[in-house]
A and B are shown apart, each in its own frame.
Chain A
Amino acid sequence: MTLLMPVMMTAQTFKIKGSDTVLPLSQAEAESYMKKNQGSAITVTGGGSGVGLSAIISGTTDIAQASRKMKMDEKVKMQEAGKAFKEVIIAYDALAVVVNQANPVSQLTREQLEGIFTGKITNWKEVGGEDMKIVTYSRETSSGTYEFFKEHVLNKKNFATTALLMPATGAIIQSVSQTKGAIGYVGLAYLESKVKALKVSYDGGKNYILPSVENAMNKSYPITRPLYYYYLIASEKSVLPFVNYILSAEGQKIVQDQGYVPLKK
């Protein structure tokens, strides 16, 4: 016990909680960091961005990982709790819209995507494809990816009730690959050759951009979101080395290995 004490004293021990989108990344980073810094113990848990942010307000976590920016309400609550915090963007994440390999459609505008996912457009021939019913696949409503897609692609409108809600990204890939009229969305990291990624235009059809790490990094691909870490300035001393590690070249390499978009090459 006495032998262990000095190690425990110098080691950093802290918790990370929040978004399930960021979870695999935080885990990979923490593992690699703990290997380099013997004795430090980082606990990473998921639960969703909202869960992480309310945990940092109540003081039950040291870092909140989030796939969205802190809302005004949450900032006010932080203020009321008398806590000053810092926000860091650690990586980016891009969503790819995918269709069946046999589908001749290869590009869509944001407006067309909105029409398709809200149920206003129901046949592929309305967007320049074959005469075939559109089958929309979405993630479950509890997923952060669902929220992100709703906010950034559907202009905050609700999905059509007829959208099929799948429990996992893998299930969306599987279903889209075996359903001819299917359309769905997945994180860039999950993109496979079993399905076809669509080019997307956010300027009414002038420029169609293919989802890729390069296009996400140079900001030309529009369905991209930053991933955040929030930490209290009071606990900066213990968490900052880890945050800096993620932002370092080595940490950013892990970002890319995990299928996310690094801040810069």
Chain B
Amino acid sequence: MKKFLEKITRGILFTSSMVTSLTVLLVVFFLFREGIGIFNRNAVEEHHVIAVNPENPVRELTSQQIMNIFNQDITSWKEVGGTDTPILLASVDDVANQYTEEQLGAEFEHLPELIEQYILENPGIIIYFTDNYIKEGFRGKLVPLHKIGFAEFIFGKEWFPTAQPAGRYGVWPLIMGTLWVSIGAILLALPIGLITAIYMSEVAKPRIRNLFKPIIELLSGIPSVVYGFFGLVVVVPLIQKAFQLDVGETALAGSIILAVMALPTIITIAEDALRTTPRALKEASLALGASHWQTIVRVVIPYAKSGIIAAVILGIGRAVGETMAVLMVTGNASVVPHTLLEPVRTIPATIAAELGEAPFGGTHFKALFALGIILFIITFGFNLAVEAVKSRKK
């Protein structure tokens, strides 16, 4: 009977760890499956085409050119290798508005013909529509579209996922934005966190420590949106005044908020590491005539080094994926930043802000999952670093 119970317990333990591992693997698999799909797509939504007049000599358009055309920055076909004809932008709704309901037919059955007719009548036309209007023997010319390339995706400098008809998917500003904010946060949180941890574990009297410790731990219980709003109302105007900037929503504001959010993790873990220094080591140092400060610097910190590094990495790893607080204070303009005093858009903020409205399974949707992969690689890198530091200790 006892053996039987033991077997059941073992079975339950095995199943739960099995299920957990499988779930993690499935999530990663799902992330990669959805994300990799971006390289199979072109910048125009699936089942949509861009057509021009058959006489138009233009061969291929890049997504940059398409965007400039629809932004009306390019107004003549001459600028993209065609003849000197003004460009006429049109949509299906424009075509439908040209004709009466009678002409369209009760079930809109004449719409495909009318679109074709409209394309043939206007030499300068460029029109964007779904491919179900293309009937056999379509006489308009479809503009060939090229697939989104890897280098174009990673190093592209423009992020306009909802631009019609061709979105621009360049994630370089987002990657740089994430790195700037994270590195800024590390530089701020590292010294403050370490000093506090050392003070709490070695210097502070028990009474002060018992007062500070719960306060610091309280920091990690505050919802991130509260941090975000605090940042927007307090930190952003402060930065704007301090640096005489036009705009206070900057990478620095994000770094400060992230540093504050990472502090409880860093302090708690680093303090625990510092406290593991054996009493005998410290007393030996003091007995040899070293002062309290010398003991801290020469004995306690070196002993707890790996624990301290792990604390920093875990704290920052948590901060890199933080969404809401950053979304509120960094301004979210997708430009490549050159200093900490410019607005940036981070990867987590982009995913959170855009996933809700991206059509399921569409190009934009896939691009956001690809961003998820990049974020996954960044945080995975942090975790690997933790592992490396830990194993060095052994």
Contacts and interface: CB of A to CB of B under 8 A. Distances in A.
B301 interface: no
A161 B333 contact: yes
Contacts of A50: 357, 359
B93 A71 contact: yes
A175 B333 contact: no
B277 to A, nearest CB: 45
A71 B249 CA distance: 37
B67 interface: yes
Contact of B328 (A71, A167, A182): A167
Given A75-B108, A157-B72, A179-B247, A140 B67 contact: no
Interface in A154-174: 155-158, 161-167, 171, 174
B16 to A, nearest CB: 35
A158 B332 contact: no
Given A135-B246, A164-B333, 14 more contacts: A73-B92, A73-B130, A140-B354, A141-B162, A141-B353, A141-B354, A142-B353, A157-B70, A161-B158, A161-B333, A161-B335, A166-B332, A179-B246, A181-B247
Contact of A76 (B108, B173, B247, B345): B108
A13 interface: no
Nearest to A76: B108
Interface of A: 47-48, 50, 71-73, 75-76, 79, 118, 132-133, 135, 140-143, 155-158, 161-167, 171, 174-175, 178-182
Given A133-B246, A142-B353, A179-B247, A72 B72 contact: no
Contacts of A182: 247
Interface in B221-270: 232-233, 236-237, 240, 246-249
B107 interface: yes
Give 4 closest A-B pairs by Cβ, nearest first.
A142-B357, A164-B331, A165-B332, A133-B246
B232 A171 contact: yes
A225 B93 CA distance: 18
B71 A118 contact: yes
Contacts of A155: 72
B246 A165 contact: no
Contacts, number: 99
Nearest to A142: B357
A179 B108 contact: no
Contacts of A164: 247, 249, 331-333, 343
26 contacts: A50-B359, A72-B93, A73-B92, A73-B129, A79-B107, A135-B246, A140-B332, A141-B353, A141-B357, A142-B162, A143-B357, A157-B72, A158-B67, A162-B343, A163-B333, A164-B343, A165-B332, A165-B353, A167-B328, A171-B328, A174-B233, A175-B232, A175-B249, A178-B236, A179-B247, A180-B246
Interface of B: 67, 70-72, 92-93, 95-96, 107-108, 111, 129-130, 132, 158-164, 173, 232-233, 236-237, 240, 246-249, 327-328, 331-335, 343, 345, 353-354, 356-359
A71 B248 CA distance: 40
Contacts of B163: 158
Contact of B333 (A72, A79, A142, A162): A162
A71 B67 CA distance: 21
A132 B245 CA distance: 11
Nearest to B109: A79
Contacts of A180: 246
B71 A157 contact: yes
Contacts of A158: 67, 70-71, 160, 163
Contacts of B356: 47-48, 142
A243 B354 CA distance: 32
A72 B232 contact: no
A116 to B, nearest CB: 14
Contact of B248 (A73, A75, A79, A179): A179
A171 B236 CA distance: 12
A142 B368 CA distance: 13
A118 to B, nearest CB: 7
B110 to A, nearest CB: 12
B318 to A, nearest CB: 21
Contacts of A76: 108, 111, 132
Contacts of A163: 333
Contacts of B160: 158, 161
A162 B335 contact: yes
Given A71-B93, A155-B72, A158-B71, A140 B353 contact: yes
A133 B247 CA distance: 9
Given A73-B130, A166-B332, A178 B240 contact: yes
A161 B334 contact: yes
B240 to A, nearest CB: 7
A257 to B, nearest CB: 26
Nearest to A180: B246
A173 to B, nearest CB: 11
Contacts of B130: 73
B209 to A, nearest CB: 38
B239 to A, nearest CB: 11
A143 B356 CA distance: 10
B344 to A, nearest CB: 10
A156 B93 CA distance: 14
Contact of B236 (A79, A157, A175): A175
Contacts of A133: 246
A163 B335 CA distance: 9
A181 B240 CA distance: 12
Nearest to B115: A72
Nearest to B48: A73
A181 B163 CA distance: 27
A131 B95 CA distance: 45
B219 to A, nearest CB: 23
Contacts of B237: 178
Contacts of B247: 135, 164, 179, 181-182
Nearest to B356: A142
Contacts of A167: 327-328, 332, 353
